[in-house]
Structures are given as structure tokens and as C-alpha cells.
Structure 1
Amino acid sequence: MEKNEYHVIGVMSGTSLDGIDLVQARFTYHGHWHFEILNAETVDYNEDWRNTLGHLLSYEPEVLKEIDEDYTKYLAGVINQFIKTYNIKNIDMVCSHGHTALHQPENNVTYQIGNLPALSKLLNKKVICDFRKQDVELGGQGAPLVPVGDKLLFSEYDYCVNLGGFANISMDVNDVRVAYDICPVNIVLNHYVKQLGLNFDDKGQIASTGVIHTDMLNALNDLDFYRAKYPKSLGLEWVKNHVLPLIDTYKLEVSDILRTFIEHMAIQIASEIKEKINALVLITGGGVYNTFLIEQLKRHSNQTIVIPSNEVIEFKEALIFGFLGVLKLRNEANCLQSVTGALKNHSSGTIFLP
């Protein structure tokens, strides 16, 4: 008989390099899914790891393989410490996203480090990981993967928008779940704030002092990606090849770059949540704390913006990667064809036993 309760640790590291998000969660199923976050924590990367992870695209394959091994060991240490800190006894599995090194679905390539079999051995726990690889092999984008969790865990919302390294959206269109990346967020904002010796722009205060540069705003809004139909996804490579060079040609003050880019994001996000009338829009991810960004989004949209609890804001992705592992264990679809463009719905991920 299928279990209806699962105790899971979900682990997520995003492109914004904020750190490793860990969630201890209980999932229960009685006709529909319910979740409870029992403990959650973000472990910041030190400067060495932030520097290494920020330059993964520049390493040769042999070096990347060594980094993968080192990162897997590091990740195991972080997870073991989380288990020890919260004295977690009941664990059905650890479900980890790893950290994206390469994401080029157009070339049938996606590579997340930290998903080696050693992770299970070092934790002495069942591990489910590497959720993107199979989807890309089936012709999908390998992203986004969170929408199945949006559909099953947050079904009361018309739109689910996450503001992390990138903004992405998930929603039902004619009872079919669709999802896609909207635009870069923290991956660009944090890049420029670092020029001021900061890791992020607290509440968007620096951006709020800047001036919108109309030519740059128009050029950003005119990027081809925004006219492409979904399914579609963004990666670090796209930002480095198309966004940063465009911004840098204008040689603006950092405050003006931030202000203009926030206007760009608000316009792009608002354009994706306008179809449904009187819609409920769940906003999560670290970008929620950029209150200036949220203000501009509200200015561009008349929908009801819902900001949930801090736990859900910060740990929704880690929570859902834990949930993807539950679905994989049950051999139920955790990658949706309608979202990624794969040949079919499928149950993705690799199971490692200690």
C-alpha cells in the first residue's frame, strides 16, 4: 500500500548564489497534498565557493569534474550539519537539486554539480537528485521544475511567481499547467551591486535613488527572448551574452542601472499576469524583500499580490524539490510536458541508496 506521509529534507542552490536552502518538511496525502515546514535554514556560501560557483562556465571539463566531487562532499557536510542542528531523526529521503554548472537544453546539455552517488554514502540516507537531466534527454527544457509543486501544493493561486536569480511564473491555461522564465532578477541586480562592495541592494534602496534610462529600458524590453513563446527558460550564459553587455554599453551609474532594470522587470512580470481578471498572485523568492521592486510591480499591475510567510518566501523551491523526490519515489509525474516541452510527462530524478 502506498504511503501517505513522507518526511523529507529538500535542498536547493540557486543561480543567485545566495546560499544553500534546506527544508525539513512533512508531506501528507489524503485526496490532495498538504505540506508542513518543520525546520528551514539557508547556509551562506563563503567567498571561495561563491567565486568558484560564479565562474563554472569558464572551467575545463576535468576541472569541473573535480569541483563536482568537492561540492558533493561540501554539500553532504552542510546537510549532515542541518540534520544534527535540528536533531532530525525521521528522514525518508534527502532530495537535492545540486547547483547548475551548465544549462543548454538547445544542445541537449544540463549539468548540476553535487548530484554524485557519494552524496548518499556520505549522508547514509536515500538521496533523490539530478531532476533536470532526464527531461532534457526527452527534448524538454529541463526547467522550470517547480510548477508541479505549484499545481499540487499552492492550487488556490491563479499565478505563482518566484523572484530568485530569475523570475519565473507558473499557472493553469485551459486546465493545463504552463510555466516559464520571465526575466533575470537578482542575478543581474547583485552583479552590479557588487561594484559598490555589497552583496545585494537592501529593500531596493539604492535602486530607488536612480533614474530610469529610457534607451536602455527600451533595448532590454526589445530582447528577442521576450517575444518567444513558452516553454522557454533562461540561464547564466544568456545573461552574460545578452544582458550584461547591453547594460554595460550605456556606462551608467549603478543606481541608474538598478532603477532601470527594476522598471524592466516590473514591466515584464506585469505583462505575464494580466490575462486573468481579479487574479491572486503568489510572489515568493528572495526578490520579495526588494520592496522597491514590489512597489513597481504593483504600480504596473492591478492584480492582488500575495506575499506569504517568510518560510514560504525563502524556502518554497527547496520545499518543492523535496516534493519532487516524493513524486519520484511514488513513480508519479514530477516533470510536466506542458511546462518543459518534453515528449511526455515523466517521473524524473536519480535515486541513490547508501
Structure 2
Amino acid sequence: MLKSGAIRALGAMSGTSLDGVDAAVLVTDGVTITEFGPADFRPYSKEESAVLRAALGKWGGAEVEAAAEVIETAHAQILSGFEDVDLVGFHGQTVAHDPANRGTLQIGDGALLAEVLERPVVWDFRSNDVKLGGQGAPLAPFYHFALAKFIGATAPVAFLNLGGVGNITWVDPTKAKPEDAGALIAFDTGPANAPINDLMVKRLGVDRDENGDLAAKGNVDEDILNRFLDHRYFYKIPPKSLDRDDFAALATEVNSLSDADAAATLTACAAMAVVRGMEHCPSMPEKLLVTGGGRHNATLMAMLAAGLDCEVAPVEDAGLDGDVLEAQAFAFLAVRVARGLPTSCPSTTGVGAAVGGGTVSHPLR
């Protein structure tokens, strides 16, 4: 039984960028944020990343089993380094996501981790939402609502996560609860770092376009960009979500371009997907706070600033840590699950009503 009030929750996130595991402690009661705790990062080796990439888009089989072993091992290693923790939120790794057919798969066994860590573990956050007709993503918006309150926002603010896929949360901080009507709108904007990272791995053997330096040297292919923006996804009303490889055809589109032009074009696609997505928000936010690895890409950030009529800044400008914000989100959501509070609602995932998700596994000993 969890003690009442704020507790120390440890969250972990392995995103679609496939770079490693973020872990962070958050002191919270599942409604408000009391304190940010320590954090850490455990990178994947090139061999581990290759195993994970081989499982993408698959719903089972040897590749998925091998990837699950990587996920469980990496999470056990990093999470066992934290002390004085009451609860663990384990997201696992999304390898397949098809909410239209009520399917989503995050690999990694939370019950096994509960035994290894000797602490209760909350996991499988998305399945219940998808089973009930929701998109199962994004799930961080309820945490973004708490963050807006924490930083003292009084006017609408938006949080943009630029991971492998981009997702945005528009928040009205004057509302009392995240599930209240008009409090949140959230959806995936489109591909973000994933196509850029895949390009860099394939052509240059490096993980990312550091600082957007390669893209800054290239020219955007406007024809490719315009075809990209004409995709039916951008006309769909939110809530909506994407699988990491839903825009896999982009890789073929830039095949004939130079390295720099390909990087510039894929970066422009990521930025303009966000610009297009902002058209679905009730109003232009006072500020767009950017988290995730994409905020380190100066070229991407400059493209966003040029395309939007609001201030664009990394979340650090608001005193937050963008490297671990998603891990903190799953610490926050773990507490909500353990206390029977909703973790998604119609305006975030399109589920029919505010619902909770997740499975709580307790160690047997």
C-alpha cells in the first residue's frame, strides 16, 4: 500500500529515437509536483540499437523477444542505481502502434522488473486507452498540465516534445483538472528526429545531426516538403497519433539528394509538421516550450521560430529539464495509476471518457 501524500516515484522512458533510457525521480501525489529528484541516462550501444531497430513494426517473434531482453536489461541496470524510491513507472519500448485496429505494443516485462528492483512497478500504460478506442498517445499531457501549474503559467502554453515523433500539448492552466473540458489538446504532430537520425545512421554512421549542422549547410527540397505536407494526416482533426515509421516513405523521397540537402529537407518536414499542427490549437500559446532531443538542433529550432507567431524556447527557459521530462512524466503517471486517477481523456487521445491505464506489479518477496 502506498503512503498518502507526495511520494518518490522513479520514471523511465525509452523513446522512438532509440538512443537510450532516461530515468528520473519525481516527488508528487499524482496531481501536483512537489520536487524534482535525481536523474540518469543509460545509452544503448550500437549493437543494442540495431536489435531494437530490427523489432520495429513487428508484433511478435524472435526479433521482438531479443529487443525485449535488451529493454529489460538496460532498464534493470539504470533503475537499480536509484535509492529511496516508493514506486517505478516503466514505459518500455514501443515497437508497434496501430490504434485504428486497437493495437499497441510496448515491450518489456514490468513484473520481471518488480522482482529485480524489489519495488512495485507500473507498466503497460497505453493498452487500456487503445482498447477503449483511444489513440494510446500521447500520454505526457497530464504531466504537462501539472508542469504548467508548477511554472506558474496564467495563459495558454504549449509543450512540444521532439523525439523520434513530435507531439504537442496545448494547456489552459486556468482549468482545475487536466480532464476538464478545454484544459488540454494533444496530438502527434508528425515525424521529428526519427527520419533525420535514420538518415545519419545510414549515410554517415553517426546517431544524429549534431546541432543541425549538416542541415544548416543544405537546401530544402520544396517539392518534397509540399508533398509531405499534403499527406492526409495533417488534415485529420486531433486527437491523433503516429507510429515511428508511418512516414517511412520520406527516406525514399530524399534518396537522390545530397547528405546536406536531405538533412535540411527532413528537418524542414519536422518543423513544418509542427507549424501545421498548431492550426488545430484553440489559440496561439503565449510560449512554445520544446523538450526532447530536437531542442538541441539549432536548425530545427530556427525553422520553428520562423514559422510560428509565438515565442519558441527550450523548456530550460522555464526552469525544467528537457532531457528527462518524459521520464518524469511516467513517474507522475505511475502515481496516478496507483491511485486510480485518469491518465488520458477525450482531448488527449480521443478515448471516450477520462480513463486510467497501466498495470501495477508488486514483487513477490
Once the two structures are TM-superposed, the CA of residue 64 in structure 1 deviates from its matched residue by: 4.6
1:247–1:224 Cα change, 3 Å: farther
1:271–1:327 Cα change, 3 Å: same
1:75–1:196 Cα change, 3 Å: closer
Distance in 1 between residues matched to 2:306 and 2:64, nearest whole Å = 46
Q: Is the 8 A contact 1:96 1:129 kept in 2?
A: yes
Give 5+ residue unaligned stretches, structure 1: none
**Structure 2 partner of 1:3:** 4
**Structure 2 partner of 1:265:** 270
Q: 1:287-330: CA deviations, max 9, x gaps?
A: 00001111111111230123232862111111011100011111
More off after superposition, 213-222 vs 268-277: 268-277
1:118 matched to 2:112: yes
Q: Give aligned-pair identity as a percent.
A: 28
**Structure 2 partner of 1:107:** 101
Distance in 2 between residues matched to 1:6 and 1:62, nearest whole Å = 38
Distance in 2 between residues matched to 1:11 and 1:78, nearest whole Å = 12
**Structure 1 partner of 2:53:** 54
Once the two structures are TM-superposed, the CA of residue 267 in structure 1 deviates from its matched residue by: 2.3
Once the two structures are TM-superposed, the CA of residue 225 in structure 1 deviates from its matched residue by: 1.0
Q: Is the 8 A contact 2:40 2:78 kept in 1?
A: no
Counterpart amino acid of 1:245?
T
Aligned ranges for residues 175-214 of structure 1 at < 5 Å?
Answer: 175-194=182-201, 195-214=203-222
Distance in 1 between residues matched to 2:349 and 2:206, nearest whole Å = 35
Q: TM-score, normalised by structure 2?
A: 0.88
**Structure 1 partner of 2:310:** 303
Please give the secondary structure, in 1, of the residue aligned with 2:61: helix
1:110–1:60 Cα change, 3 Å: closer
**Structure 2 partner of 1:219:** 227
Q: 1:111-170: CA deviations, max 9, x gaps?
A: 111134211111111000110011111111110001111112224252111111111111
Give 5+ residue unaligned stretches, structure 2: 173-180
Aligned ranges for residues 146-185 of structure 1 at < 5 Å?
Answer: 146-155=140-149, 156=153, 158-172=157-171, 175-185=182-192
**Structure 1 partner of 2:335:** 326
Please give the secondary structure, in 2, of the residue aligned with 1:283: strand
More off after superposition, 221-230 vs 260-269: 260-269
Q: 1:40-81: CA deviations, max 9, x gaps?
A: 111100122100111113667231563265235404432344
Higher helix share: 1
Distance in 1 between residues matched to 2:59 and 2:286, nearest whole Å = 47
1:78 matched to 2:101: no
1:154–1:317 Cα change, 3 Å: same
**Structure 1 partner of 2:322:** 313
Q: 1:197-245: CA deviations, max 9, x gaps?
A: 21111110100000111211111111111111111111123132x3323
| Count of matched residue pairs | 344
Counterpart amino acid of 1:236?
R
Distance in 2 between residues matched to 1:179 and 1:340, nearest whole Å = 7
